Structure 1
Amino acid sequence: MGRKPQLLAATAALFVITLFGFTQLTSAALIGGIGVGEERLIGWRGDTYKPKDTKSREPFVSVISWRPRAFVIHNFLTEHECTHVADLAQVHMRRSTVVAENGSSVLDDYRTSYGTFINRYQTPVIAAIEDRVALLTRTPVVYQEDMQVLRYGLGQYYHRHTDSLENDSPRMATVLLYLSDPELGGETAFPQATTWSDPAMPNVFGPFSDCVKDNVAFKPRRGDALLFWSVQPDGRTEDLMSEHEGCPVIRGVKWTATVWVHTLPFRPEEFDERRRTFTRHDQEEDPGLCTDRHSECPRWAKSGECERNANYMRGDANQVGSCRRTCGVCEDCELGDRACYNRNRDRQGYLVYHPEELISGRAVEAGLDWRE
């Protein structure tokens, strides 16, 4: 079995130590220099098996279940951080995919949310959040995947599933960050788990929608985080009790950010240890704008590349096309024509928003902000 089981077991043990060992750090080290004074992280006096007042704005940990091992870290994010993550992701949200048996990403009604990924350390605020997740899990940031931001609208859901992947470096832990407060529904539920760490917890954390039934669950609360482990304490066995689901949103909108933590470094070639930076991937064009990314697009189109190399030229489920204007995939919009802008987004499979869905109230159409 080699070193991997030992690494997993050591990581699991370190997490228990973490709950009792957090010390005070300044917000500059944790929140990208936002400057809100000193922030007290969760220490042993903030941990609880008994339900506390969930309206408190002080950070504290609730152990909601031991099978699976699931913990709520209350007030893990600031208001500024919640808004920053959502604003960064809004323009690029498109229909979420699932992992097929061959490892590829495919569309499936098993999951109906919209989502996008944010590069590791993409901004100082993102870096601060990822550093904090590393402190929580006692695992370096290089073990984390890129942060995935998800939006669930009315009736949208994610059926029961497990996060651990069958490969050389499975996901051992999931940290779910809640960016908004849906009015009803949208819980993260564990359908195999019926035993809370304290019998009073359902009354404190509820009320829940019918989807939850009598299972362990957490109702989204802006700024909170849910950590659960996909492996058992032995560090080698998948914990089937970690199967979970995203309940349908009944009222309101649910925004989350997910950080998956692996047993081995994730794409370590993207990490520059000396500079403590990650590779910055080219940001996609705003799909609502009708543009070409290259001056050679007209010449390529004349040679038949719009049909022969359609994925690159016109775009597909994984990328915005590089020559959409020349290939006739989109339409030029008049200044401030929001309907035209949204048609371009919809044509490429990107989310068209209603104003009430936005966390910050800022118009999602970034391309229109400077034109109106």
Structure 2
Amino acid sequence: EAPGSTTRRGLPRSPGAPGAFLYSGFLSHAECDHLIKLAKGRLEKSMVADNESGKSVMSQVRTSSGTFLSKREDEIISGIEKRVAAWTFLPEENAESMQVLHYEVGQKYDAHFDYFSDKKNVKRGGHRVATVLMYLTDVKKGGETVFPIAEGRDLQHKDETWSECARHGLAVKPRKGDVLLFFSLHVNATTDPSSLHASCPVVEGEKWSATKWIHVRSFDNPPDVMTDARCSDDNEQCPRWAALGECYKNAKYMVGTKDTLGSCRKSCGVCDA
């Protein structure tokens, strides 16, 4: 069981609402503080995936800063990843590395889908089927996660403690230790438009969160990875990760194994460009 409260509840649900569940106290406060401590000093401007090319690009749609923490980077991260897999019933290997995000006053992430529109990102692991959003701090005001077109928005009462942004949809307040799980695909594997969501601007205070995106297939060992033996990097962050020593700390992902190609082989210098 996760530390703290074991309260799990589904958000108001109607045919046009996403499958979403809130777990109060999934993370202990000590775990939250640990993730923030690891991320500080590594933060960079957050990126978004270009709908055509699939490449990571800067955009005013997303104004936070963030960083990825390697899978199984330490015992605490490993424990969280195991609990996420147990709660979602989705294998650890289907998940991307944890991304920690920091939002200051006015920073936000406009409405978007977590499933992909480009073929490049879908190729590795398939669509993102689920998002596990961990709130690492309380926020004085703002910073809510809002589903703007979910039909269940009319069932949710909101008082003056909610931001104006949160009033325009089904919303969840960030509370330290709570975790929101929502699905981007229907049970028949088609994309769910009602999973459209946004991170409302922070009005007072600051917001820290951590996200685990989980794919329909293995993200660590995609079945078609050996068909592409080019000497290249799959992510523009590869040079930075390599400089931080990830070629050794996270060799399976960065370099690969005898059976799988890594995602940053060029930056790790294990092939001839």
Q: TM-score of the superposition, structure 2-length normalised?
A: 0.75
Distance (whole Å) between structure 2 residues aligned to residue 109 and residue 282 of structure 1: 27
Deviation at 1:203, TM superposition (A): 4.8
Q: Which residue of 2 aligns with 1:92?
A: 42
Distance (whole Å) between structure 1 residues aligned to residue 36 and residue 74 of structure 2: 13
Q: Percent identity?
A: 39
Q: 1:90 to 1:283 in 2, by over 3 A?
A: farther
Distance (whole Å) between structure 1 residues aligned to residue 68 and residue 185 of structure 2: 24
| SS of residue paired to 1:238 | coil
Distance (whole Å) between structure 2 residues aligned to residue 70 and residue 207 of structure 1: 22
Is the counterpart of residue 202 in structure 1 residue 157 in structure 2?
yes
Q: Which residue of 1 aligns with 2:181?
A: 227
Q: Which residue of 2 aligns with 1:308?
A: none
2:144 corresponds to which of 187, 192, 214: 187
User: Contact between 1:77 and 1:224, CA under 8 Å: does it hold in 2?
Assistant: yes
User: Contact between 1:179 and 1:257, CA under 8 Å: does it hold in 2?
Assistant: yes
2:244 corresponds to which of 284, 287, 298: 284
Q: Amino acid of the residue matched to residue 113 of structure 2?
A: T
1:108 corresponds to which of 59, 63, 81: 59
User: Contact between 2:135 and 2:175, CA under 8 Å: does it hold in 1?
Assistant: yes
User: Contact between 2:158 and 2:167, CA under 8 Å: does it hold in 1?
Assistant: no
Deviation at 1:268, TM superposition (A): 2.1
1:131 corresponds to which of 62, 78, 82: 82
Q: 1:230 to 1:188 in 2, by over 3 A?
A: same
User: Contact between 1:65 and 1:71, CA under 8 Å: does it hold in 2?
Assistant: no
User: Contact between 2:138 and 2:207, CA under 8 Å: does it hold in 1?
Assistant: yes
Q: TM-score of the superposition, structure 1-length normalised?
A: 0.56
Q: Which residue of 2 aligns with 1:63?
A: 10
Unaligned stretches of 5+ in structure 2? Answer: 223-240, 246-273
User: Contact between 2:65 and 2:101, CA under 8 Å: does it hold in 1?
Assistant: yes
1:1-45 deviation per Cα after TM superposition (whole angstroms, max 9, x unaligned)? xxxxxxxxxxxxxxxxxxxxxxxx5xxxx6xxxxxxxx5xxxxxx
Is the counterpart of residue 237 in structure 1 residue 190 in structure 2?
yes
Distance (whole Å) between structure 2 residues aligned to residue 83 and residue 181 of structure 1: 12
> For 1:316-331, what aligned pairs fall within 5 Å after superposition?
none
Task: Judging by fraction of residues, say which structure has more helix.
Answer: 1
**Count, aligned residues:** 219
Q: Which residue of 1 aligns with 2:134?
A: 177
Q: Amino acid of the residue matched to residue 99 of structure 1?
A: A
Q: 1:127 to 1:283 in 2, by over 3 A?
A: farther
Distance (whole Å) between structure 1 residues aligned to residue 113 and residue 168 of structure 2: 19
Q: Which residue of 2 aligns with 1:339?
A: none
- Which entry has the higher C-alpha Rg, 1 or 2? 1
CA RMSD of aligned residues (A): 2.2
Is the counterpart of residue 140 in structure 1 residue 70 in structure 2?
no
User: Contact between 1:194 and 1:214, CA under 8 Å: does it hold in 2?
Assistant: no
Deviation at 1:65, TM superposition (A): 3.4
| SS of residue paired to 2:134 | strand
Unaligned stretches of 5+ in structure 1? Answer: 1-24, 31-38, 40-56, 270-280, 286-372
Deviation at 1:232, TM superposition (A): 1.1
Deviation at 1:214, TM superposition (A): 4.2
Distance (whole Å) between structure 1 residues aligned to residue 42 and residue 71 of structure 2: 16
Distance (whole Å) between structure 2 residues aligned to residue 171 and residue 260 of structure 1: 6
| SS of residue paired to 2:30 | helix
